Amino acid sequence: MVTVKGSQPMVRLESVVKRFGKTTVLDGIDFNAAKGEFISLVGPSGCGKSTLLKIIAGLHPVSEGSATVDGMEPKNAREEMAFIFQEANLLPWKRVRGNAELPLMMRGFSKERRTETANKMLELVNLSHAVDHFPWQLSGGMRMRVSIARALTLAPRVLLLDEPFGALDEMTRDNLNEDLLKIHARDNWTAFFVTHSAAEAVFLSHKIIVLSANPGRIAQVIEIKLPPDRNAETRESPEYLNYVAEVSHAIRTVH
Amino acid sequence: MSAVLKKVQFWILPIISGLLLLLVWYLIAYIYASKEGFDVQRIIIPFPHQILDALISERAALWASAMKTMQSAVLGFLSAVVVGYALSMLLASAVWVKQSLYPWVLVLQMTPVVVLAPIFVLWLGQGLPSIIMITFLIGFFPIVANTTMGLVSTDRNLLDLFEMCNATKSQEILHLRVPYAMPYFLTGMKIAGTLAPIGAITGDLFAGSSQGGVGGIGFMVIIYNSQLKIPELFATAFVACLLGFVFVGCVNYLHWYLLKNWHDSVRRAEAS
């Protein structure tokens, strides 16, 4: 069993097992994630990446073992977390600003405070010009930016991203990856990022966890020692390309 | 095809087919009259201009009847909307509630209204309350069936999003389930809107009266039929049809107005 240990764990998973009925989806998952760490989860389809993310979010209970976020049960640590889904998951009847304000509205913030914070976050993701648009008026990339802005409104300490850019074209995805890193450098949240793309995982992460399937177990942990200020040029560097080859090989050969 | 040609087609084709239909009608009425005489023809298949004459001469009575039927239709429809929506919320609140109550809603729907109508007359008497009850029963089921479906089929990811936001149950209902179910509810309303004037006229047939000096359209049908005023009967059918269009038009406008900004069904229809 491979264990990922970091100092001052923000997220701690100990011997986590998850079963759906008689099927074991995850088995013996142990890891700690430190504050500010960017961790990607990769592996074959059905290896339980999204399930693991939902366990951390408190959306799925564990069958055995324990999961804590900032020392609390995940359900009690929701104030600390935000989840970015595979689809942008916007409410089609609300305008962009209304969507970005949603978490603040649910927590009873005043209208002024909500508007001010949502405007700031939308500016951060370059959507100030589209605050009054409805989701159908936006491109896929813009919708995902709204989803990111919405997740950031409560200044989370843990950000969970479930393959958020999987449906986007390569150029949009690359741009969003760069923006995400800039925001991470500013806010320093702990991130768990599910992806199928080795290149994306290498570009974004400090650590990449490779999961095996049936049941999902941690097969390998790859530390990415690229400089923190990554940009378009990083993608052409030999170190980056070597890491991408290593991760691709790990995903291909994992059982 | 150019946009202008499309518009011309949209207006011209129904007008041409309508004129052809009038022509065929005249032809049949004329053949019938030449065999049986014009007096018999008038009470079996009147000429369209005789119906128009009846419409003009009876306009005051027909207008008053139409208003009375409209009143019954609106009240019955609104009762169906309010009670249907409330019941849907209840049915969607828990699986056991739906399992307990939905079969009885189906039983009510499967029992023909024409069988229940005399019972309502017995209980509520002739007049408005019975007619509203009959209209309500006809429109109630489509609203319940559609709205319940909308309320229980909320996207799983959106429910997860609300859970991540620590939304309370009432916030989830108010800000997610209710708006998500809106297109379903409005579809139910559209079906109920089509049925409401029919329900009000059916109610008139069973429970109509000339209380207040005027009866509804169904009541006029009975009167004109008993007096063999067949052109007036056709004129009444024309008014009933018009009433249906006005009613459905209002409901369709509401559907469009509430969904125009965001729902695919309206935006696609406008784009095509």
**Residue B177 neighbours by CB under 8 Å, 6+ apart:** B92, B151, B154
Determine the distance from the C-alpha atom of residue B20 to the mean position of all C-alpha atoms in its chain, rounded to a whole number.
28
Please say if the pLDDT value at position A4 is more than 70.
no
- Choose among A196, A205, A88: nearest CA to A151: A88
Q: Does B86 touch chain A (CB under 8 A)?
A: no
- Choose among B144, B158, B169: nearest CA to B91: B144
In tens, the pLDDT along A190-205 reads 999 999 999 999 999 9
- Choose among A91, A86, A78, A156: nearest CA to A121: A156
What span, in angstroms and rounded, lies between the C-alpha atoms of B59 and B47?
A: 18
* B262 with A93: Cβ contact below 8 A: yes
In tens, the pLDDT along A204-220 reads 999 999 999 889 999 99
**Residue A208 neighbours by CB under 8 Å, 6+ apart:** A39, A40, A41, A42, A201, A202, A221, A222, A224, A247
Chain B residues touching A107 at Cβ < 8 A: 165-166
pLDDT at residue A5, rounded to an integer: 46
Instruction: Walk along chain B (272 residues) in steps of 10 and give the mean pLDDT of each run.
Output: 79 93 96 93 94 96 95 96 96 93 92 92 92 94 96 94 95 96 96 95 88 84 93 96 94 94 80 64
The whole-angstrom distance between B155's CA and the closest CA on chain A is: 9
Task: Give me the interface pTM, i.e. the ipTM.
Answer: 0.90
Residue A7 or B67, more confident = B67
Percent of chain A with pLDDT over 70: 96
pLDDT at residue A2, rounded to an integer: 45
CA torsion B140-B141-B142-B146 (nearest 10°) is: 110
Res. A255 pLDDT band, cuts 50 70 90:
low
In tens, the pLDDT along A140-161 reads 999 999 999 999 998 999 999 9
**Chain B residue nearest residue A101, CA to CA:** B165
pLDDT at residue B104, rounded to an integer: 93
Note whether B203 and B154 are within 8 A (CB). Answer: no
- Point out the residue among B161, B164, B179 whose CB comes nearest to the CB of A93: B179
In tens, the pLDDT along A30-43 reads 999 999 999 999 99
Q: Which amino acid is at A176?
A: L
pLDDT at residue A6, rounded to an integer: 44
Res. A109 pLDDT band, cuts 50 70 90:
very high
